[in-house]
């Protein structure tokens, strides 16, 4: 496997080959490189280079080598229509090096009915990195007719939102995946989504969209395990990171979030579903001007569990709703009362500090029929911005213990 430390020597060789336009060159008899320009890509930002990219991908995927690399030429802007890059591939390792920029069509008519702009699927040992920018050109989608309908749906579940407005960059059924260094901006919908991936690292990503852009989550993880998300800078119109059903052993650290809706687990239990998440750990993350901080959200009427979840070393800078457990999640105008609920347990908050824009800094709204249990909060210090008011907490059927907490948590039951 090519590690980050190996790139300094390798990339110098690659860049010299990229500038000369050469491709299909073996490095040390193991890595074979391909350049999209050699397959007819133009890179003028106007010509659709999708077919050239697919030809290059086919060459990479079928190469008889232990490692194959596809170079996206620097100082070029490649226009791509919605494109699917599929495996399985012959090389045990596939590497896409994004040195140039990639842009989506500006007009919605060019997208067809695609759910994704760029999706990589059924590829193991896949690496994609570089300093290039992937621009989803989402501004034509954000005020779409779908938006009013999306407000009535759960924006972080598998709903019509995923079909109505495409996700910028998707990875499905990819194991041992590495994504780092990229700039991903202005997605029509979610920016980066992982689905049924086992073993992935997402690091040093810059993900940006305007605060007002609807449902433009930064990173969404669904039905995945063994995922590391670290050292990312995310500011969008929705969750910076969202963990969906069926996910386990997810570690999130050193994420700078803002603007956006914070880091969310869920929503879970929509339409009576049995959903589970466990072993989710969020550490050393900051939230600046976000609508929420760290949040767990479930629907009434669902079942399953959200358990073994920790939040540690969290910094809040003028964030709204810093700590939330919401078992009455309902983005619709009306939701019927139901007695069944996802079981929330073994949740810990430690070292959460900073300033809140809202008076209720801690809001633990657990199901009346299914209590939250073993909730632990310690070393909590959340005050108001400018000391304009005294922060408070609210609990409903929440059981656990608290120590050294501002605001106090006398509402927490044993």
Distance from C-alpha of 263 to C-alpha of 239, rounded to nearest angstrom: 6
Least Cα distance to 311 among 219, 379, 409 occurs for: 379
Distance from C-alpha of 148 to C-alpha of 160, rounded to nearest angstrom: 12
Q: 3-state DSSP: the chain helix, strand, coil percent, rounded to 5?
A: 15, 45, 40
Distance of CA 114 to CAs 155, 174, 238, 250, 293, Å? 18, 20, 21, 28, 32
User: Could you please report the per-residue DSSP string of 20-81?
Assistant: HT--SEEETTTEEEEEGGGGT---EEEEE-HHHHHHHHHHHHT-SSSEEEEEE-TT-EEE--
Least Cα distance to 124 among 25, 197, 34 occurs for: 197
DSSP annotation of 5 reads G
Q: Of all helices (H) and strands (E), which one includes residue 7?
A: helix 7-20
261 in catalytic set: yes
DSSP annotation of 155 reads T
- Among 162, 238, 275, 346, which one carries the catalytic annotation? 238
Query: Please, how many CA atoms are within 13 Å of residue 82, restricted to the half-sphere of its CB?
Result: 18
Distance from C-alpha of 379 to C-alpha of 356, rounded to nearest angstrom: 16
238 in catalytic set: yes
- Among 161, 261, 275, 326, which one carries the catalytic annotation? 261
Indicate which residues carry an active-site annotation: 238, 261
């Amino acid at each position: 496997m090519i590690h980050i430390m190996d790139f300094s020597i390798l990339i110098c060789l690659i860049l010299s080959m990229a500038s000369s336009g050469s491709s299909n060159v073996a490095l040390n008899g193991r890595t074979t490189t391909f350049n999209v320009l050699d397959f007819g890509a133009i890179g003028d930002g106007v010509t659709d280079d999708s077919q050239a990219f697919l030809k290059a991908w086919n060459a990479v995927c079928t190469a008889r080598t232990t490692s194959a690399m596809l170079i996206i030429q620097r100082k070029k802007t490649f226009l791509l229509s919605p494109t699917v890059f599929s495996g399985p591939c012959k090389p045990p390792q596939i590497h896409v090096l994004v040195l140039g920029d990639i842009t989506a069509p500006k007009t919605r008519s060019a997208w067809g009915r695609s759910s994704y702009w760029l999706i990589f699927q059924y590829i193991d040992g896949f690496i994609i990195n570089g300093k290039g920018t992937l621009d989803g050109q989402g501004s034509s989608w954000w005020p779409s007719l779908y938006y009013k309908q999306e407000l009535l749906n759960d924006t972080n579940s598998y709903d019509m939102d995923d079909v109505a407005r495409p996700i910028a960059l998707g990875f499905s059924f990819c194991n041992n995946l590495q994504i780092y260094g990229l700039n991903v901006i202005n997605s029509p919908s979610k920016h980066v989504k992982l689905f049924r991936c086992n073993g992935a690292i997402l690091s040093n990503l810059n993900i940006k969209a305007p605060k007002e852009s609807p449902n433009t989550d930064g990173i969404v993880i669904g039905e995945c395990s063994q995922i590391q998300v670290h050292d990312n800078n995310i500011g969008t119109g929705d969750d910076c990171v969202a963990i969906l059903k069926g996910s386990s052993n997810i570690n999130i650290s050193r994420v700078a979030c803002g603007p956006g809706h914070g880091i969310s687990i869920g929503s879970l239990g929509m339409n009576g579903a049995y959903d589970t998440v466990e072993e989710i750990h969020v550490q050393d993350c900051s939230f600046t001007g976000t609508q929420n901080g760290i949040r767990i959200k479930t629907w009434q009427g669902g079942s399953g569990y959200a358990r073994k979840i920790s939040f540690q070393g969290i910094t809040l800078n003028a964030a709204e709703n810093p700590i939330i457990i919401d078992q009455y999640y309902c983005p619709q105008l009306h939701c019927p009362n139901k007695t069944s609920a996802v079981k929330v347990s073994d949740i810990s908050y430690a070292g959460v500090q900073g300033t809140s824009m809202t008076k209720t800094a801690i809001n633990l709204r657990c199901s009346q029929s299914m209590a939250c249990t073993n909730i632990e909060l310690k070393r909590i210090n959340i005050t108001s911005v400018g000391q304009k008011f005294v922060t408070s907490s609210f609990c409903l059927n929440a059981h656990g213990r608290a120590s050294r907490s501002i605001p106090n948590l006398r509402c927490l039951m044993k």
